[in-house]
Structures are given as C-alpha cells and as structure tokens.
Amino acid sequence: MRFTVAIDGPAAAGKGTIARAVAARFGLAHLDTGLLYRAVGARVLEGLDPVEAARALAPADLDRPDLRASEVAQSASRVAAIPEVRAALVAFQRAFAARDGGAVLDGRDIGTVICPGAEVKLYVTASAEIRAHRRWLEEGGDEARVLAEVRERDARDSGRADAPLRAAEDAVVIDTTALSIDEAVAVALAHVSDRLQGRPRG
C-alpha cells in the first residue's frame, strides 16, 4: 500500500507532534523533513558549503544531538532558501514518500512541492505568539527574542522564491492556537481515518 500524508506548517505549530501521532496510529513510516535541512544547516555552521553538505547528506547526519539547537534551526532556514540545496534533498524525500506501507512527511513544502499528489494534506498553524511561547517553554531564554526569531523565520520561509511556505489549495488547515495537543491530534487522526476508509475530504 502506498498512502502519503503530507503535513506542512510554520515552526512550533505542532506538525511534528501530529505527524508522529498519525504515523504511530496507522503504522506509517515518518520523516521529519526539517531534520534534513537542520543537518545541512549544522554542517554549514561547521564551515561546509551548503550545496556540498546537502549532496553529501547521510542518514547518520539526522541523528546528531545538536539538531534542535536554535542556531541550527536558523541556519536550516537560511540554507532551505537555496534552490540547489532543496533540489538535492527532493529525491530523498520523494523516495521516502513512495515507500510501500505508507508514509507521513512533515515540513514546509510537502503538500505543495514534494508530494502534491498526497492522499492527505494537512496544514498545521498557530499564531506567532503562541508558537514562540511553546518554543520558549521547550528551550528557555528570552521569550521576546524567541518571538522575534519565529517571526523572522516565518518571513524568510514564506517569502523565499523557491517553494515558499504556504498551504496547498486542497489542504485541511488545523489551527492549533486554541487547541490542546490531544485535540489537534484528534482532528488529524479523524481526517486521515476518513481518507483511508475512502470517505471524501470535508
């Protein structure tokens, strides 16, 4: 069975949590595509050329313990705006999505560029203030600075010329601003379940 769930959205909206829950519930493989860009970003911080880092990316690079660091996230957003970097990582993502048994991919251009034919497309979002507060709770530091970084990343991700962050026209939007984790996951699970059972998207 090939069944692809594409989950997009800005940083700290909850898409990763939802993607992991969907994958676990339905027995699908999961790829956090942001880790690909974080791994490239981490190598760039070490002095490597972004395109060379993307082309040489190995599975072991996704297991680095520093990929969740704030400076790596910012570097990832910068390298993701480079068309040659994105091109180098497209094949990896599409091959993962096409695997037998089904797959869940979460990122920023899965439903619009990587898997435009995905059976399910979700766009998970929330207000910048809520997302910054969630990130601050995870990482600490100065909350005002975290909010500034979230807004800066939103502008960069949405404004880039190549594969900008946006919801696919046929994506279901899940706004988690006022939802608990359990509520957001329940909405996503219900939608995926409907699609697996052949019911039309609502």
pLDDT in tens, the chain (202 residues): 789 999 999 989 999 999 999 999 999 999 999 899 999 999 999 999 999 999 999 888 989 999 989 899 889 989 988 999 999 999 889 989 999 999 999 999 999 999 999 999 999 999 999 999 999 998 899 999 999 999 998 998 898 888 889 999 999 999 999 999 999 999 999 999 999 988 655 4
pLDDT of 109: 92
Q: pLDDT at position 202, please?
A: 47
| 10 assigned binding-site residue | yes
Is 163 assigned to a binding site?
no
Boundaries of every domain in the chain: 4-196
Complete DSSP assignment for 57-91: --GGGGG-TTTTSHHHHHHHHHHTT-HHHHHHHHH
Q: What is residue 44's predicted lDDT score, i.e. its pLDDT? A: 97
- For residue 137, count other CB atoms closer than 10 A to its CB: 11
Q: What is the pLDDT of residue 75?
A: 95
Instruction: Strands of the chain (E only): list them.
Output: 4-8, 29-32, 103-107, 120-125, 172-175
Q: Residue 9 annotated as binding?
A: yes
CATH: 3.40.50.1820, 3.30.70.260, 3.90.1150.10, 3.40.50.300. Which one for 4-196?
A: 3.40.50.300
Binding residue per annotation — 16? yes
